[in-house]
Amino acid sequence: MKRGEVRTVTQATIKLIRIGAAPLLPPDRLPGSPSGQACAVNEGILRRIDAQVGKRILADHYDVYLQKEDNPCSRTVEGHYELDAFEYWGARLPYRPQGAVDGKVMDSDMAKDLSFWARWGSSSGIPFDAEAFLAEHIQWSHLKGYLKDRPSEPWTLFRADEAK
């Protein structure tokens, strides 16, 4: 994008601004402001997204439909379908046991070192208890024995030079 070029501010850009991956824009440059939905995107307006910011993005629970901050459901980056009643989308079955089951992030420096951060289970650390889920949502009882627990695990650094 060229200096001074105008681009529509997307929900993703707003999210990056909110979590600190980009410098704050003046209020008159945000969607819904008098200047409309466009803002000037100058060279360097977005800071580098590093692995720590990547972890926060993967663990995001911002509901883009309801514009609600902490609402883990299918409409978030992390995708908690198992917590979503789908009351706004009747074509979907409620409380589907699906969504993200791990998170992995890497920045360019880590890629050069053949390393990355990974977390087994949800990126935010919300555990999934299969037995409790099936007891509460009997419509999925045919998955008993197949559905597995996903306990909360820590972010762990993996490197290519680690001993086996």
pTM above 0.75, yes or no: no
pLDDT (tens, 9 = 90+) of the chain, 164 residues, equals 444 444 444 455 555 555 544 444 444 444 444 433 333 343 343 456 889 989 999 999 999 889 999 999 999 999 999 999 999 887 888 999 998 889 999 998 999 999 999 999 999 999 999 999 999 999 999 999 999 999 999 999 999 987 66
Residue type, 109: D
How far apart are alpha carbons 98 and 123 in whole angstroms? 14
Domain ranges of the chain: 1-47, 48-159
Tokens 């046991």 label which residue?
Answer: 97
What was the pLDDT predicted at 6? 40
- Which CB contacts under 8 angstroms, 24+ apart, belong to 124-133? 124/59, 124/60, 124/61, 124/72, 124/78, 125/59, 125/152, 125/153, 126/72, 126/80, 126/152, 127/151, 127/152, 128/82, 128/97, 130/97, 133/82, 133/95, 133/97
Instruction: Say whether 70 sits in a helix, a strand or coil.
Output: coil
pLDDT at residue 16, rounded to an integer = 52
Q: What is the pLDDT of residue 89?
A: 83
